[in-house]
Structure 1
């Protein structure tokens, strides 16, 4: 499964994108589960953007979901952090 995260916004207004393929990773099944949860629903209520907050687009095998910080579930946050860490 190919998972891509694009983060935009924040104080500096920059953009950061990272992708990972779960197939050969030891944590692949756990990441696939997190990706499926991220696509299955939006974050908690209150989806209006906040000043200087981050916006995220999570792509999983061609399907997309758009999310706003700070309105992320713990599963969404874990997935985002893991994928963006691969680009560090």
Structure 2
């Protein structure tokens, strides 16, 4: 499973994109579980943008979801953190 996260916004307004493939990772099954939960959980429909907040595009294989702080679930936040900190 290929997981890609693109983060935009924040105070500086920068963009960061990171990807990782779960196939050869020891924690691959856990990352795949988090990815499925992250995609299946909808955020609040009436999300108000937060000044200087981060926005995320989470792509898992061919599925895509757009998310934003502070409306992330625990699973979404954990997955995003892992991808952005461990991907090359």
Consecutive unaligned residues of structure 2, counting only runs of 5 or more, are none
Root-mean-square deviation (CA, aligned residues, Å) is 1.4
- Runs of 4+, deviation exceeding 3 Å: none
What's the offset of the Cα at 1:41?
2.0
Q: Does the CA contact (< 8 Å) of 1:19 and 1:83 recur in 2?
A: yes
Q: How far apart, in 2, do the equivalents of 1:76 and 1:16 lie?
A: 17
Q: How far apart, in 2, do the equivalents of 1:60 and 1:68 lie?
A: 17
Q: Normalised by the size of structure 2, how large is the TM-score?
A: 0.93
Consecutive unaligned residues of structure 1, counting only runs of 5 or more, are none
Q: Does the CA contact (< 8 Å) of 2:20 and 2:87 recur in 1?
A: no
Q: How far apart, in 1, do the equivalents of 2:75 and 2:3 lie?
A: 14
Q: Does the CA contact (< 8 Å) of 2:2 and 2:19 recur in 1?
A: yes
Per the alignment, residue 21 of structure 2 pairs with 21
What's the CA shift string for 1:18-74, capped at 9, x where partnerless? 000000001000000000011112235652210000000000001100001011111
Per the alignment, residue 11 of structure 1 pairs with 11
